[in-house]
A = this chain, B = another copy of it.
Amino acid sequence: MAASSDYPADTSASSLPEATVVRLPVYFRGLVELAEEGVTTVASQQLAELAGVNAAKVRKDLSYLGSYGTRGVGYDVGFLMLQIGRILGGNEPAPVVIVGAGNLGKALSRYDGFGASGFPVAAIVDADPVVVGRKVAGVTIRHVDDLHEVVGEAGCQVGIIATPAAAAQGAVDRLVDAGVRSILNFAPTVVTVPDDVGLRKVDLATELHILGYYEHRRGANRATG
**A51 CB within 8 Å of chain B:** yes
Provided the pairs A26-B206, A52-B192, A107-B104 are in contact, do residues A217 and B12 lie with their beta carbons within 8 angstroms?
A: yes
Contacts of A220 in B (CB 8 A): 5, 9, 12-13
Contacts of A174 on B, CB cut-off 8 Å? Answer: none
The listed residue (B4, B158, B206, B208) touching A158 by CB distance below 8 A is B208
- State whether B188 touches A114 (Cβ < 8 A): yes
Of the residues B116, B184, B209, contact of A28 by C-beta under 8 Å: B209
Among A117, A194, A221, the most chain B Cβ lie within 10 Å of the Cβ of A117
Copy number in this complex? 2
**Contact partner of A106 among B13, B107, B204, B218, CB < 8 A?**
B107
Interface stretch of the complex, out of A38-46, A74-82, A126-134, A195-203: A195-203
Cross-chain contact B94 with A26 (CB below 8 angstroms): no
- The reply on A139 being an interface residue by CB < 8 A is no
What are 6 A-B contacts with C-beta separation under 8 Å? A29-B205, A89-B209, A104-B107, A104-B111, A116-B188, A158-B211
